[in-house]
């Protein structure tokens, strides 16, 4: 597939402005947007309303310029013509009604509108039902999809359009369920959803899909997004067939690739090489849905926009960092997939390591996608090889509680009875650079544990010569500050501080300065898949994984995974619903660390 995303470039910018009103909700901002159509030259169209909306939000409601090639520029963007900025600043660009902006369509500057066709490959599967269709509907409901869009489900299962629609509406478990006009919007959305049954390795079947897509595109510029929601052994066949028989001939073609991207350095490199036979790197969107989570996206904001955090963000003040993932259910239904990968590949090598990279990276030159990804790669490449003795693995076993028996991992019929695949792992990682030398980054991830949670815990050093030691008690570790970023559920950022208990005495306790999202923000938090799908449609790559990031992540984990597997290391068994193997505590203790999530409700 040729990279066609720049084919419609035109240097002439069109401009928007809207009233700076930080308190208005996104929907109200949407209403107050205005579109200038008064520039001379070729007719100007809104390239992407959604992109504009989001960028203007990011830029804190300042004026932004929307280029005709779909790029959104701010005053700081060098490619924006000085004259256009002047016009914008001087208010020379007149403004028509906000309706011009509503339902705006993409244009090539010659008046040719464009379409976006989203094909979910593997539409009959678990992820498509659970996440992709609900996210697409949520985007539609919120007005973030372009005017002309079509959603196609593609899989081998035989299904009619009506059956797909029925499946989508029945499995809609998204946050929109209870919202105003949901069913009306759903009906409208479903009218844009279609299904094509085909084999993943059949060029002919993809050519039939292409024909159908063309009918919907009705001669408009065609932009096509393929979401590969199929098991990884099918990725290459599907990409080969989609690229040869169903890629766009006059717009962009992008492919979202789900994890796992290989199972070690070698297979990942082979996958990338094969993908690149058919796609340019800028057409490949490797998804890590944790990067689309609200609090993960907020990490950089927290660090780089608050003076109080960045100066503390180093070995000088931070004792250890903990990245914790737990689920209170097992691999039920996904055992076949999981057994080939295990928890280290499923969660640590991608989700937790990505969070670590964002947490630990140096300040990027700018917020540009490549600047951020360059810094992430630098951190990943600075990591010390993981030592076998710094890894603990576990596997859950059956447990009966309250008269209910919960299955063990190997009770799953799709898992070999003698499987050693870890469903739990804890590891100590280190970054060999000046900022983080000697600071343990402890990771812990497990399935079938007592709770569902993902969080980052930052434990700070002791206060030197603390005047209040005697008021705190003997456990000084308990009295150090701890910053907790709770990614899910019930998103929050809180800082544990020592505080005087009110009264005439002098007793201290630990209290939380608490930013609890549900209490602070009335707006619902979008699902990670919404953010990432929208980004892929807009060609925004910041939250997707670059191939060198992937290589660095695999280089870190491959040797220790190989060692564990070659030695046939026995996992430590833990009961379903427990807190996991005790070995995780010994590992932490080796580095004088206590897991922050032990014995707490928050």
Ligand X SMILES: NC(=O)C1=CN([C@@H]2O[C@H](COP(=O)(O)OP(=O)(O)OC[C@H]3O[C@@H](n4cnc5c(N)ncnc54)[C@H](OP(=O)(O)O)[C@@H]3O)[C@@H](O)[C@H]2O)C=CC1
Residues that bind ligand X (CB under 6 A): 122, 124-128, 155-157, 229-232, 234, 258-260, 337
Q: How many residues bind ligand LXAUTJHC (CB under 6 A)?
A: 4
Nearer to ligand X among residue 48 and residue 197 (C-beta): 197
Question: Do 144 and 178 form a contact (C-beta atoms < 8 A)?
Answer: no
Structure tokens at 270: 């082979």
Based on the shown chain and the rule CB under 6 A, indicate whether residue 491 belongs to the binding site for ligand LXAUTJHC.
no
592: Cβ contacts below 8 Å, ≥ 6 apart: none
Comparing CA positions, the residue from 540, 395, 449 lying closest to residue 52 is 540
The owner of tokens 């299962």 is 157
CB of 581 to ligand LXAUTJHC, least distance (A): 19
Instruction: Report CA Rg, the chain.
Output: 26
- Judged by beta carbon, residue 324 or residue 431, the one nearer ligand LXAUTJHC is 324
For the purposes of burial, counting CB atoms within 10 Å of the CB of 59, is it exposed (0-12), middle (13-18) or buried (19 or more)? middle
How many beta carbons lie within 10 A of that of residue 149, not counting itself? 19
Structural contact between residues 318 and 460, judged by C-beta atoms closer than 8 angstroms = yes
Tell me if 343 sits within 8 A of 305, measured CB to CB: no
End-to-end CA distance of the chain: 49
Q: Sign of dihedral through CA atoms 196, 201, 205, 207?
A: positive
Residues 102-141 contacting ligand LXAUTJHC, CB under 6 A: none
Q: Which of the listed partners (ligand X, ligand LXAUTJHC, none) does 81 bind, with a CB threshold of 5 to 8 Å by partner kind?
A: none
Q: From the CB of 221, what's the least distance to ligand LXAUTJHC, in Å? A: 34
Provide the minimum distance between the beta carbon of 131 and ligand X in the complex, in angstroms, as a whole number: 7
Can you point out the beta strands (E) in 408-473?
424-429, 441-446, 453-460
Q: Which of 351, 399, 450, 516 is catalytic?
A: 351
User: Which of ligand LXAUTJHC, ligand X, none interacts with 390 (beta carbon under 5 to 8 A by kind)?
Assistant: none
Give the nearer residue to ligand X in terms of CB position, either 154 or 424: 154
134 contact choice in ligand LXAUTJHC, ligand X, none (CB below 5 to 8 Å, kind-dependent): none
Q: Which is nearer to ligand X, 198 or 526 (CB)?
A: 198
- Select 161 or 294, whichever has its Cβ closest to ligand LXAUTJHC: 294
| Closest CB 372 distance from ligand X, rounded Å | 23
Nearer to ligand LXAUTJHC, 289 or 496 (CB): 289
CA–CA separation, 116 vs 121, rounded Å?
16
Residue 351 is among the residues annotated as catalytic for this protein? yes
CB of 375 to ligand X, least distance (A): 26
Contact flags string 275-314 toward ligand LXAUTJHC, x per CB under 6 A:
--------------x-------------------------
Nearer to ligand X, 195 or 595 (CB): 195
Q: Does 142 bind ligand LXAUTJHC (CB under 6 A)?
A: no
Q: Which of ligand X, ligand LXAUTJHC, none does residue 346 bind to, with CB < 5 to 8 Å depending on kind? A: ligand LXAUTJHC
Residue whose Cβ sits closest to ligand LXAUTJHC: 346
Q: How far is the CB of 173 from ligand X (least distance, A)?
A: 13
- Residue 211's φ and ψ, nearest 5 degrees, are -60, -45
Closest CB 519 distance from ligand X, rounded Å? 30
Question: Residue holding tokens 């898992």?
Answer: 415
Instruction: Write the burial class of residue 388 (CB in 10 Å: 0-12 exposed, 13-18 middle, 19+ buried).
Output: exposed
Establish how many alpha carbons lie within 13 A of residue 175's alpha carbon, considering only the half-sphere containing its beta carbon. 13
Quick note: the x/- pattern for ligand LXAUTJHC over 335-354, rule CB under 6 A, is -----------x--------
In this structure, the dihedral spanned by the alpha carbons of residues 545, 549, 550 and 553, taken in order and rounded to 10 degrees, is -130
Strand duo 34-35 + 13-17: pairing: antiparallel
455 contacts ligand LXAUTJHC (rule: CB under 6 A): no
Separation between Cα atoms, residue 151 and residue 366, nearest integer Å: 35
The answer to whether the CB of 70 falls within 8 A of the CB of 8 is yes
Positions marked catalytic: 351
**Given the rule CB under 6 A, which residues bind ligand LXAUTJHC?**
289, 327, 346, 454
């Amino acid at each position: 597939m040729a990279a066609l995303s720049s084919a419609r470039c035109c240097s002439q910018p069109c401009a928007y402005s809207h009233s700076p009103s930080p308190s208005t909700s996104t929907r109200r901002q949407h209403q107050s947007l205005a579109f200038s159509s008064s520039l001379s030259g070729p007719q100007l169209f809104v390239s992407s309303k959604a992109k504009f909306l989001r960028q203007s939000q990011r830029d804190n409601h300042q004026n932004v310029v929307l280029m005709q090639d779909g790029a959104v520029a701010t005053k700081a963007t060098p490619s924006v013509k000085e004259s256009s900025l002047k016009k914008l600043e001087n208010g020379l660009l007149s403004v028509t009604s906000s309706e011009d902006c509503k339902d705006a369509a993409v244009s090539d500057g010659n008046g040719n509108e464009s379409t976006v066709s989203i094909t979910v490959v593997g539409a009959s599967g678990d992820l498509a039902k659970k996440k992709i269709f609900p996210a697409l509907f949520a985007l539609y409901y919120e007005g973030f999809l372009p005017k002309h869009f079509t959603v196609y489900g593609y899989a081998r299962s035989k299904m009619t359009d009506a059956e797909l629609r029925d499946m989508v509406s029945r499995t809609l478990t998204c946050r929109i369920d209870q919202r105003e006009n949901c069913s009306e919007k759903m009906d409208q959305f479903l009218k844009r959803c279609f299904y094509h049954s085909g084999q993943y390795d059949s060029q002919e079947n993809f050519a039939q899909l292409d024909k159908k897509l063309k009918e919907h595109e009705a001669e408009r510029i065609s932009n096509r997004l393929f979401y590969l929601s199929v098991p990884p052994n099918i990725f290459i066949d599907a990409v080969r067939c989609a690229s040869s028989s169903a890629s766009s001939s006059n717009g962009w073609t992008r492919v979202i690739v789900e994890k796992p991207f290989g199972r070690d350095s070698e297979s990942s490199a082979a996958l990338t090489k094969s993908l690149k036979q058919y796609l340019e790197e800028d057409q490949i969107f490797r998804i890590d849905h944790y990067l689309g989570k609200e609090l993960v996206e907020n990490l950089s904001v927290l660090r780089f926009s608050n003076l109080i955090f960045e100066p503390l963000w180093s070995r000088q003040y931070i004792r250890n960092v903990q990245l914790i993932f737990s689920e209170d259910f097992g691999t039920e239904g996904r055992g076949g997939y999981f057994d080939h990968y295990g928890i280290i590949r499923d969660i640590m090598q991608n989700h937790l390591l990505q969070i670590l990279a964002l947490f630990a990276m140096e300040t990027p030159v700018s917020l540009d996608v490549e600047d951020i990804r360059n810094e992430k790669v630098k951190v990943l490449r600075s990591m010390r090889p993981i030592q076998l003795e710094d890894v603990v693995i576990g596997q859950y076993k059956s447990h009966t509680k309250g008269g209910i028996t919960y299955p063990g991992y190997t009770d799953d019929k799709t898992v070999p009875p003698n499987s050693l695949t870890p469903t739990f792992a804890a590891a100590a990682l280190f970054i060999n650079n000046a900022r983080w030398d000697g600071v343990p980054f402890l990771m812990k991830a497990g399935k079938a544990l007592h709770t569902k949670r993902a969080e980052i815990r930052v434990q700070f050093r002791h206060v030197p010569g603390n005047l209040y030691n005697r008021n705190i008690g003997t456990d000084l570790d308990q009295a150090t500050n701890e910053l907790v970023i709770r990614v899910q559920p019930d998103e929050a950022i809180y800082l544990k501080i020592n505080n005087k208990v009110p009264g005439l005495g002098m007793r201290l306790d630990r209290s939380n300065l608490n930013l609890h999202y549900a209490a602070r923000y009335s707006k619902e938090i979008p699902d990670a898949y919404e953010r990432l799908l929208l980004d892929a449609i807009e060609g925004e790559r910041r939250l997707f994984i670059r191939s060198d990031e992937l290589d660095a992540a695999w280089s870190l984990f491959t040797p220790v995974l190989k060692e564990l597997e070659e030695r046939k290391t026995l996992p430590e068994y833990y009961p379903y619903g427990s807190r996991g193997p005790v070995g995780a505590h010994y590992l932490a203790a080796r580095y004088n660390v206590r897991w922050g999530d032990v014995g707490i409700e928050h």
